[in-house]
Chain A
Amino acid sequence: EAQVTQNPRYLITVTGKKLTVTCSQNMNHEYMSWYRQDPGLGLRQIYYSMNVEVTDKGDVPEGYKVSRKEKRNFPLILESPSPNQTSLYFCASSSWGTSQETQYFGPGTRLLVL
C-alpha cells in the first residue's frame, strides 16, 4: 500500500531535549516536505526536499533541521524544542514538486513541548 508513515504519532517532551520525528514513504517520490498545523494558521511549510541531499527552507524553518540522506526518509529534527513548537506536524511527499499531481500526507505527529 502506498503510504507515508510518521513516528512517533504522539510525543510529549520538555524544553531543550532534542528529538527527531521520522518520515518515510514507499512510493519512490523525489519530493518530501514537512508542515506544521496550528489553529487559525492552517498548514505552514517548515522544510522541503526536492531529492536526496537537496533541502530548502519553507516558511517557518526556525528551530528545525532536516536531512535527506535516502530517498525514502526525511526526518525532522528539533535540536532544542521550545513550547512554541507545540503543534501538529505532517510529512508529505509527491513524485515531482507541487506542480504535478497528488501530495501524499502522513497521519501526523502531535507534539507537546512542556
Chain B
Amino acid sequence: SQQGEEDPQALSIQEGENATMNCSYKTSINNLQWYRQNSGRGLVHLILIRSNEREKHSGRLRVTLDTSKKSSSLLITASRAADTASYFCATDPLSNFGNEKLTFGTGTSLTIIP
C-alpha cells in the first residue's frame, strides 16, 4: 500500500493564486520529499524536509511537516502557468534502515488557468 497519499487528487486555480496540496503518511519517517512531474516526463526534486524540521522554504515553495499528524503540505505562492504539473510526496520511512527506498504517493494534478 502507498505510504503517502496526496490530497486533493486534482486542483485547478487561476494564475497568481496560491496552491496548497497535502500529503498524509502512515509510519514514522526520516524525511519527506516533494517532486514535480510535467506530463509524461521524469520527476524533478523540489524540496526535502527532515523529520526534525517543521517548515522549509525554497523560492515560491513552502513545505510544512507535522509529524504528530503524519502530514505535510506544499504551498506554491503566486502560481504561474508553468507550475501546471503533477506533484508527489515521497517518504523515507524510519524503518528503512538497511532497505533504502522512497515510497511515493499517487500525486496531485495541478492546473494553473491563465
Which A residues contact B (CB, under 8 angstroms)?
4, 31, 33, 35, 40-45, 48, 50, 56, 58-59, 88, 90, 92, 97-99, 101-108, 110
- The residues of B with any CB-CB pair to A shorter than 8 Å are 2, 30-31, 33, 35, 40-45, 48, 88, 90, 92, 96, 99-107
Smallest Cβ distance from B22 to chain A, in angstroms? Answer: 15
Of chain B, the residue at the smallest CB distance from A92 is B43
A2 CB to closest chain B CB, in angstroms?
A: 12
- Shortest beta-carbon distance from B40 to chain A in Å: 7
Smallest Cβ distance from A41 to chain B, in angstroms? 7
DSSP class of A's interface residues: helix, strand, loop or mixed? strand
Q: Given B33, B41, B106, which contacts A42 in the complex, CB threshold below 8 Å?
A: B106
Whether the Cβ atoms of A110 and B88 lie closer than 8 Å is no
Return chain B residues, CB-CB under 8 Å to A48. 100-101
Closest B-chain residue to A107, C-beta based?
B42
